[in-house]
Amino acid sequence: MFQGHFIVFEGIDGSGTTTQCLLLAAHLDAAGIPVTLTREPGGTPAAEQIRNLVLDPTLGEISHMAELFLYAASRSQHVEELIIPSLERGDVVICDRYIASSLAYQGFGRGLDLGVVSQVNQLAVGGCCPDLTLYLDLPTEVARTRRDQRGGEVDRLEQLGEGLQERVARGYREIAAGEEKALVFDARLTKERLALSIRDALRERWSWFPKERE
C-alpha cells in the first residue's frame, strides 16, 4: 500500500487553496521532505489537456453529466500516472482540489445526485483517498472581492456567477462536517497566518511534521 501522505486542499474559487498548497509544499521542502505538488483538474499532460477543455470560457454550456465525467477522467489519469507512484515513492502529495470538488461543484453546485457523483469518482480513483482534506472556508462575498482584485481571465465555472458559488460553499460545509479525515480553517486570515495555523494543526496530528524554523 501507499507509504506517503496524501493531503488535499479544498474551497470555493478565491478561497486561497493554490496559495496554501504552495506555502505548505515550501515548508516541507525546506525541511528536506519529498513533496509532489499537484492540482486538479490537471497534474499530468493528458489531464492538463482535459483541464483546458473543461475550463475553456468559450466552450459554453456542456451537460452536467459530461462535466462530471471530464473532471473524473482527468482525476483517473492523475491518480494512476502521478498520485499513486508519488505516494509509493514515499512523497507527501499535496493536491489542489480532489473528489470533494466534484461533490461540491457537480453535486451541490450543479444539482447532480451526490450518490452518482461519488460512484463515478470511486470508479475513477479506485481506493486512492486523501489522508487528510483541508477545507478553506470563506464567505462568498469575500471570495468574490479577492477574485476581482486578482483580475486575470475568468474560467468557465467562475463565469457562472454567485448562485453557484453560494451552493458550492454550503456544499463544502456539509461535506466537511460529514468527513472524518477533514479539518476546516477560517480562510479570512492573511495567507501567512492561515499557513501557520495549518502547519500547527498538521504538527499536532503527525509527529513527523517539521517544526517551524527559527
Site residues for ligand TYD per CB under 6 A: 13, 18, 39-41, 55, 71, 97, 101-102, 105-106, 155, 157-158
For 32-58, the three-class secondary structure string (H helix, E strand, C coil) is CCCEEEEECCCCCHHHHHHHHHHHCCC
Alpha helices in the chain (DSSP H): 17-30, 45-55, 64-78, 84-89, 99-101, 114-125, 140-150, 162-177, 191-205
95, 64 contact by CB (below 8 A): no
Distance of closest approach, residue 59 Cβ to ligand TYD, in angstroms: 13
- What residue is closest to ligand TYD based on CB? 105
Closest approach of ligand TYD to the CB of residue 123, in Å: 14
Gap between the Cα atoms of 92 and 27, Å rounded: 12
Q: Rounded to the nearest whole angstrom, what is the least distance from the CB of residue 160 to ligand TYD in the complex?
A: 9
Which lies closer to ligand TYD via its Cβ, residue 50 or residue 195?
A: 50
Minimum CB distance to ligand TYD smaller for 164 or for 209: 164
Decide whether 86 or 106 has the Cβ nearer to ligand TYD.
106
For residue 50 the three cell numbers come to: 482535459
Cβ 97 to ligand TYD shortest distance, Å: 4
User: Residue 48 phi/psi, 5° resolution?
Assistant: -65, -35
Instruction: Name the residue nearer to ligand TYD (CB basis): 57 or 90.
Output: 57
Distance CA 109, CA 117 (A): 12
Least Å distance between CB 55 and ligand TYD? 6
Q: With beta carbons less than 8 A apart as the criterion, state whether 55 and 153 touch.
A: no
157 vs 209, beta carbon nearer ligand TYD: 157
